[in-house]
């Protein structure tokens, strides 16, 4: 049961399938999945960001420019939360507070590519990979070479360097570099989301 990665699986789903397993279990990647969903929505032209007065990327304000459902639960969960907000939210306020982890776990379980043990989003729940071929493809994507003609791969590699699972060792207090190939409307969101992830996972200076 293999899905075309770019057309069927969202960035949070690809990332969740590729996280390092512990005794055969995939634990939810929590705030990292929200980061992935935010960048994915930006790449799809659904959200944009307005620079804040402070000039910090993570405090940029998000605006929904197209709220049409994508029929992808992790992305739609974040989109609904942003639409429901009474005013534009800063990027940093979304990363730790609007979780798409439960939606990602449930979506992958509904696709039949993982078995969900426990209740999605609840403490102690985890995923058991069923489609090992698809998991291997996702793992390869996270370890592949970034190219400017595939921005989804660029985003996955950026998230990998900044995420809570400690994929890449980094000198204390140093931010990993962000690939500079994002379109202008996506770049601010990508930078703000990655910086917010860095802060939320306790690895910022």
- The two beta strands, 89-90 and 114-117, are unpaired
Note the pLDDT of residue 98: 67
The pLDDT of residue 108 is: 96
Average pLDDT per 10 consecutive residues for the chain, totaling 205 residues: 57 93 88 92 95 88 94 94 88 79 94 91 88 92 71 86 58 63 90 85 52
- pLDDT for the residue 167: 46
Put simply, whether the predicted model's pTM sits higher than 0.85 gets the answer: yes
Domains of the chain: which residue ranges?
Answer: 5-200
The 10 Å Cβ neighbour count of residue 135 is 18
Contact indicator for 131, 149 with CB cutoff of 8 Å: no
pLDDT at 4: 43
pLDDT at 174: 56
> Helices 11-18 and 73-84 meet at what angle, rounded to 10?
130
Phi, psi of 116 (to 5 degrees): -95, 120
Q: Are 128 and 26 in contact (CB under 8 A)?
A: yes
**So what's the pLDDT on residue 171?**
52
């Amino acid at each position: 049961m293999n899905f075309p990665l770019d057309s069927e699986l969202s960035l949070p789903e690809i990332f969740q399938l590729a996280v390092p397993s512990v005794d055969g279990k995939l634990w939810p990647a929590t705030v990292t999945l929200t980061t992935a969903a935010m960048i994915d929505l930006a790449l799809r032209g659904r959200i944009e960001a307005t620079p804040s007065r402070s000039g910090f990327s993570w405090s940029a304000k998000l605006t929904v420019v197209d709220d049409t459902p994508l029929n992808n639960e992790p992305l739609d969960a974040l989109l609904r939360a942003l639409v429901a907000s009474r005013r534009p939210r800063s990027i940093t306020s979304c990363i730790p507070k609007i979780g798409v982890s439960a939606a990602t776990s449930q979506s992958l379980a509904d696709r039949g590519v993982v078995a969900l043990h426990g209740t999605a989003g609840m403490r102690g729940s985890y995923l058991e990979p069923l489609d090992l071929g698809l998991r291997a493809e996702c793992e390869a994507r996270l370890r592949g070479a970034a190219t400017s003609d595939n921005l989804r791969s660029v985003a996955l590699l950026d998230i990998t360097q900044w995420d809570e699972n400690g994929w890449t060792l980094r000198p204390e207090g140093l931010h990993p570099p962000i690939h500079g190939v994002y379109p202008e409307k996506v770049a601010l969101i990508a930078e703000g989301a990655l910086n917010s992830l860095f802060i939320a996972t306790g690895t910022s200076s």
